[in-house]
Amino acid sequence: MTDGLKARLAVAASALMLAGCMSAVPQEPVAADMSEEAAAAPVAPEPEVPAYAERLPQDEVVYFVIPDRFENGDPSNDTGGIAGGKLDNGFDPTDKAFYHGGDLRGLIERLDYIQGLGATAIWLGPVYQNKAVQGPPGGESAGYHGYWITDFTRPDRHLGTDADMKALADALHARGMKLYLDIITNHTADVIKYRECPDSACPYRSVADYPYTKRGGISGESINDGFMGDRPPFQTRENFAKLTDPTYAYTPYVPEGEEHVKTPDWLNDVRYYHNRGATTFEGENSQYGDFSSLDDVMTENPEVVDGFIDIYADWITRYHLDGFRIDTARHVNPEFWQRFNKAMVDHAAGIGIPHFYVFGEVYNPDPAMLARFTRVDGFPAVLDFGMQSALFDVLVNGEAADRFGRLFKVDDLYADGSAAMAPTFSGNHDMGRFSGFLRAAHPDMSDEELAKRVELSDAILMFSRGAPVIYYGDEQGFVPDAGGDQNAREDMMPSQVATYNDNDLIGTDATTAESNFDTDHPLYRAIARMAKIRAGHEALRRGKQVTRLAELDGGVLAISRMDGERGEYLVAFNTRNEPRRLNVPVDARSTTFESVAGSCPTTAAATGVLTLSMEPLGWTICRSGDWEH
Question: What is the tens place of the pLDDT at every residue in 268-278?
Answer: 999 999 999 99
Mean pLDDT throughout 390-415? 98
**How many Å apart are CA 506 and CA 244, to the nearest integer?**
57
Whether the pLDDT of residue 457 is over 60: the answer is yes
Residues 6 or more apart whose CB falls under 8 angstroms from that of 352 comprise: 47, 48, 49, 50, 53, 320
What is the tens place of the pLDDT at every residue in 86-114? Answer: 999 999 999 999 999 999 999 999 999 99
Under the banding of pLDDT at 50, 70 and 90, the label for residue 244 is very high
Give me the percent of the chain exceeding a pLDDT of 70.
93
Work out whether the CA dihedral 448, 488, 424, 391 comes out positive or negative.
positive
Under the banding of pLDDT at 50, 70 and 90, the label for residue 628 is confident
Whether the pLDDT of residue 1 is over 70: the answer is no
**How many Å apart are CA 164 and CA 182, to the nearest integer?**
17
Under the banding of pLDDT at 50, 70 and 90, the label for residue 24 is very low
Q: Taking the CB of residue 231, how many other CB atoms lie within 10 A of it?
A: 11
Q: What is the pLDDT of residue 43?
A: 65
Mean pLDDT throughout 335-341? 98
How many residues does this entry show for the chain? 629
Looking at this protein, which amino acid is placed at residue 365? Answer: P
Cβ burial of 569 (10 Å; 0-12, 13-18, 19+) is buried
Q: Give 180's Cβ-side CA count (13 Å radius).
A: 28
Looking at this protein, which amino acid is placed at residue 558? Answer: A
**How many Å apart are CA 85 and CA 103, to the nearest integer?**
19
Whether the pLDDT of residue 390 is over 60: the answer is yes
Report, as residue numbers or ranges, the catalytic residues.
Answer: 327, 361
Mean pLDDT throughout 189-215? 96
Domain boundary assignment for the chain: 59-186+301-535, 187-298, 541-624
DSSP code, position 151: E
User: Which of these, 551, 549, 492, lies nearest to 517 by C-alpha position?
Assistant: 492
Enter the pTM of the model: 0.92
Whether the pLDDT of residue 382 is over 70: the answer is yes
**How many Å apart are CA 118 and CA 116, to the nearest integer?**
5
Radius of gyration, CA atoms only, the chain: 26
What is the tens place of the pLDDT at every residue in 294-305? Answer: 999 999 999 999
The CATH architecture assigned to 541-624 reads Sandwich (2.60)
Whether the pLDDT of residue 483 is over 60: the answer is yes
CATH of region 59-186+301-535, choose from 3.20.20.80, 3.40.50.300, 1.20.1050.10, 3.90.1150.10: 3.20.20.80
Looking at this protein, which amino acid is placed at residue 359? Answer: F
More confident residue, 498 or 21: 498
Q: What is the pLDDT of residue 45?
A: 78
Whether the pLDDT of residue 75 is over 70: the answer is yes
Phi and psi (nearest 5°) for 524? -60, -45
Phi and psi (nearest 5°) for 113? -65, -45
Q: What is the pLDDT of residue 41?
A: 56
Residues 6 or more apart whose CB falls under 8 angstroms from that of 532 comprise: 118
User: Which of these, 627, 616, 2, lies nearest to 307 by C-alpha position?
Assistant: 2
**How many Å apart are CA 54 and CA 224, to the nearest integer?**
50
Q: What is the pLDDT of residue 263?
A: 98
What is the tens place of the pLDDT at every residue in 26-36? Answer: 333 333 343 44
Under the banding of pLDDT at 50, 70 and 90, the label for residue 173 is very high
Q: What is the pLDDT of residue 302?
A: 98
Under the banding of pLDDT at 50, 70 and 90, the label for residue 484 is confident
